[in-house]
Structure 1
């Protein structure tokens, strides 16, 4: 786990220290999930003010702790990306004493997050029926590949598998290339967002009725719902969309274009924008041409229009066109690499990209990107070291004293 001694990209980010949000203050969440999707759900809830206790295996912890290189301060950056705002408790839940401790924690919790398939939940007695017998008001959330019911309920799943099922890979890439995965774990993040949304809705209902909940989030269904704008047109017309690269098959014109130096994106999504574009580039006669009056008309003549715009944009560098089109309120932008995204001054100024102090030193952060009354997520609780909060949580939640904790540690239960 060697780390560079040279300045790293995040060293250029502004430093930020802010108090936690309070929207979910007082809500206690046990996060038993690993990898990306479940931990991302837990991070979103922590960002909004919940106390999120991450339950991890005593040896190794969350699988994502080993996902590297790259590592920073000996910790996986993948792990750090989805575990901000949490406290870590190590616990062997396969051990009878570990299970007893877990059930005592469940009795105190408002929410339990799991990414175990249905069979594993029943084996470990962590299924909704068992835990609701201990805590009837508990919100029990399962985030799995295929859901907890049905013929595929016990099948394992990762982001790649869910993307393949959903159709997004079939529609990603150029027409002449093989299917491609999205460049970020999209199914993980979408399902994690769904899980956090579902928990907040269940908390609101419980506030009104006192009723707990059994929530079932499927990565395949979350990712497939993401495909709604593609799937619905097929269901209603039989027209099968195919890969088109950076070109949309419905909107004309909506794609990537080359300029004199760097590529750019351009979206002429309605008639008014179509007119503003041609006026901005000094060809108002095209805007007034009745042959191009509607999107349907433009779709019929897409090939010729794309060629015309392509030739025009190649006459000037990208910066020129972004300036011209920005002033004309025409949707256009660069195709940023990650290093360019990290240096985006607007995102830094908004507080979305920043650095803060972690247990081992300064660390980068990618923010929540949502503001409540002008505030966004707190930075006081960085991604936790494995087991860093075991003693304090077992003491404050269920009254374990120092001698009990020492014995549990000696027996490798924690």
Structure 2
């Protein structure tokens, strides 16, 4: 809690307004869908998060760690949203969903085609209600094909895509990326595709069905590995922190903490050796091009490793910054969130939620110099149900009370 109190406290405000006027119905749970709608919300869209009456979004139970009884995973994905609860399996809930769809621009789901059809949330059904609707699905394998009905999590998508096979030390086992990469990349695809469809709709007036597959997204992420293999049949292999294409692109030890170093072109190669006081090394025969340096990689890496162990991380990073050589620390999470420049940029902040301070990570993208996105803290389960029904659907208090009494909301 003490660390949380050190974060800059952000006040709720108008935030970014790029998507102001766009209404999104978010039926998703966990990470991929909620991250996609978080991006839309941060850009100004109104996001109505439709959750299960009991338990809500699955991520609400993911922990520990919890903060004031709330999952910190959930809190990381759901600011700037309104939460309403609805029992989608209740026969009388379908009318409410249809009324919400009539006044929505976008619907986002993370259920398979079979489940969507069962609940009346499939594109064919909702298009009849609102032909301008942008209908977005995110699933493990897409809405069609022999795997369409299979469940999928980030781990499974990372395994399918080949990223795990290429992550880790050469003599070690495959490793998952240290953040839910497939989920987050699929979430970015949700936001990107939705915005593209909104632009097209402005021209044509027509809605669109969008089908995001986590496995396809993560496989596209592997394009810099896949295309060279397809063109050369030279299969890449796990190599730890090194790169199979750029000769010198890896982790090196120093006299204290390790650093990353990327000598990605001939000019940087020359600058590096000038910076460390040995410009003649860069001119050695057989070291002139990256292709040649790849052949001599073992020798070069050994020489650089010996050199860098003579001084501290801070010494080398200061020198490399002066000479514009790509290098950096290997931050732990506590070091990352303590980075003065990132804190100054507003990337890490806290906001006041229903139960107290809530930590947040901002959008990190600036619009005319502005990256302030906070309009509201992550919502409590069902916090806005009554308000949405009153203000969005113009329902009376009596009707809302009846819905609560019959356990629809």
Residue 206 of structure 1 aligns to a residue in which SS?
helix
* Distance across 2 between alignment mates of 1:252 and 1:58: 55
* Distance across 2 between alignment mates of 1:228 and 1:279: 34
* 1:134 Cα offset (Å): 0.5
Residue of 373, 386, 391 corresponding to 1:396: 391
* 1:8 Cα offset (Å): 3.4
Residue of 4, 8, 15 corresponding to 2:2: 8
What pairs with 1:370-381 in structure 2 (closer than 5 Å)?
A: 370-381=365-376
* Distance across 2 between alignment mates of 1:113 and 1:215: 9
* Aligned-residue CA RMSD (Å): 0.8
Range with greater deviation from structure 2 (223-232 or 93-102): 93-102
Residue 282 of structure 1 aligns to a residue in which SS?
coil
Alpha carbons 1:187, 1:223 under 8 Å: kept: yes
* 1:141 Cα offset (Å): 0.3
Residue in 2 that maps onto 1:86: 81
* 1:232 Cα offset (Å): 0.6
Residue in 1 that maps onto 2:214: 219
Residue in 2 that maps onto 1:235: 230
Residue 276 of structure 1 aligns to a residue in which SS?
helix
Q: TM-score, normalised by structure 1?
A: 0.97
* Distance across 2 between alignment mates of 1:114 and 1:104: 17
* 1:258 Cα offset (Å): 0.4
* 1:78 Cα offset (Å): 0.3
* Distance across 1 between alignment mates of 2:270 and 2:259: 19
Residue 391 of structure 1 aligns to a residue in which SS?
helix
* Distance across 2 between alignment mates of 1:409 and 1:331: 59
- 1:101 partnered with 2:106: no
Alpha carbons 1:92, 1:99 under 8 Å: kept: no
- 1:327 partnered with 2:322: yes
Residue 178 of structure 2 aligns to a residue in which SS?
coil
* Distance across 2 between alignment mates of 1:80 and 1:383: 6
Residue in 2 that maps onto 1:264: 259
* Distance across 1 between alignment mates of 2:351 and 2:14: 12
* Distance across 2 between alignment mates of 1:69 and 1:99: 35
* 1:174 Cα offset (Å): 0.1
Residue in 1 that maps onto 2:170: 175
Residue in 2 that maps onto 1:281: 276
Residue 292 of structure 1 aligns to a residue in which SS?
coil
- 1:413 partnered with 2:408: yes
* Distance across 2 between alignment mates of 1:302 and 1:19: 53
Residue in 1 that maps onto 2:356: 361
Residue of 255, 272, 293 corresponding to 2:250: 255
* Distance across 2 between alignment mates of 1:324 and 1:9: 32
Residue in 2 that maps onto 1:314: 309
**Stretches (4+) displaced over 4 A:** none
Alpha carbons 2:7, 2:349 under 8 Å: kept: yes
What pairs with 1:18-97 in structure 2 (closer than 5 Å)?
A: 18-97=13-92
* 1:254 Cα offset (Å): 0.1
* 1:9 Cα offset (Å): 2.3
Alpha carbons 1:278, 1:286 under 8 Å: kept: yes
Alpha carbons 1:9, 1:342 under 8 Å: kept: no
Alpha carbons 2:94, 2:120 under 8 Å: kept: no
Residue 286 of structure 2 aligns to a residue in which SS?
helix
* 1:378 Cα offset (Å): 2.3
Alpha carbons 1:29, 1:52 under 8 Å: kept: yes
* Distance across 2 between alignment mates of 1:366 and 1:164: 27
* Distance across 1 between alignment mates of 2:217 and 2:235: 21
* 1:380 Cα offset (Å): 2.7
Residue 96 of structure 1 aligns to a residue in which SS?
coil
Alpha carbons 2:110, 2:139 under 8 Å: kept: yes
Alpha carbons 2:157, 2:182 under 8 Å: kept: yes
* Distance across 1 between alignment mates of 2:50 and 2:284: 64
* Distance across 1 between alignment mates of 2:328 and 2:316: 9
